[in-house]
Structure 1
Amino acid sequence: MSASAIEQEIDAARSRLETTVNELAYRAQPKVIVQRQVEDLKAKLVAATRTPEGGLRVERIGAAVAAVVGVAVVACLVRRRRRR
């Protein structure tokens, strides 16, 4: 292998390494991490509340609302008992 070919191979490897390092640095930014987590959470919410055809899953939404109301009622009752 000639010196020129070795230099070209080294330059190509250096370029690939630089691209990898830049990608990792970008992915490690807190702003990017938060953005990925928000997108993931949105996708999970859509999957939990929508059918594959796009319709609402009323039973799941109703159950979630009922659970929130139940927790609110219990919290109010606990507050009232503490005040007495």
Structure 2
Amino acid sequence: MNQSDDLVREIDEIRDRLAGSVDELIAAVHPKSLLKRGIDSVKSRFVDETGAVRTQVVVPVAAGVVLVVVGAVVTRRILR
């Protein structure tokens, strides 16, 4: 092989690596990928690796939601 063949082969290899990197970046920032990672992140906070609900997290969140709803209802009734 001569030097130009080596350069062509090296350029082809670099082009292939770059194409793979660009494809990975596109997949990483695709809206469906972002949504799936977000959902997985939220799920991991409320469910452990075995699929069991993390009650130490769920109970306070549920209590907070109930308090906000009750507060909104009470405020609305007072302001009427």
Tell me if both proteins adopt one fold, taking TM over 0.5 as the criterion. Answer: yes
Give the aligned length.
Answer: 79
Q: Which residue of structure 1 lines up, in the alignment, with residue 75 of structure 2?
A: 78
What is the root-mean-square deviation of aligned Cα atoms in Å?
2.4
Return the letter of the residue paired with 2:27: Y
Higher mean C-alpha deviation, range 25-34 or range 74-83: 25-34
2:27–2:33: 8 Å Cα contact kept in structure 1?
Answer: yes
Return the letter of the residue paired with 2:66: V
**Identity of paired residues, percent?**
32
In structure 2, stretches of 5+ residues that fail to align are none
Q: Which residue of structure 1 lines up, in the alignment, with residue 41 of structure 2?
A: 40
Structure 1's 39 and 61: CA in aligned 2 closer, same or farther, altered over 3 A? closer
Distance between the aligned counterparts of 1:21 and 1:53, measured in 2?
35
> How far 1:54 moved relative to its partner?
6.8
Q: Which residue of structure 1 lines up, in the alignment, with residue 26 of structure 2?
A: 25
Distance between the aligned counterparts of 2:71 and 2:23, measured in 1?
51
Say whether residues 1:4 and 2:5 are aligned partners. Answer: yes
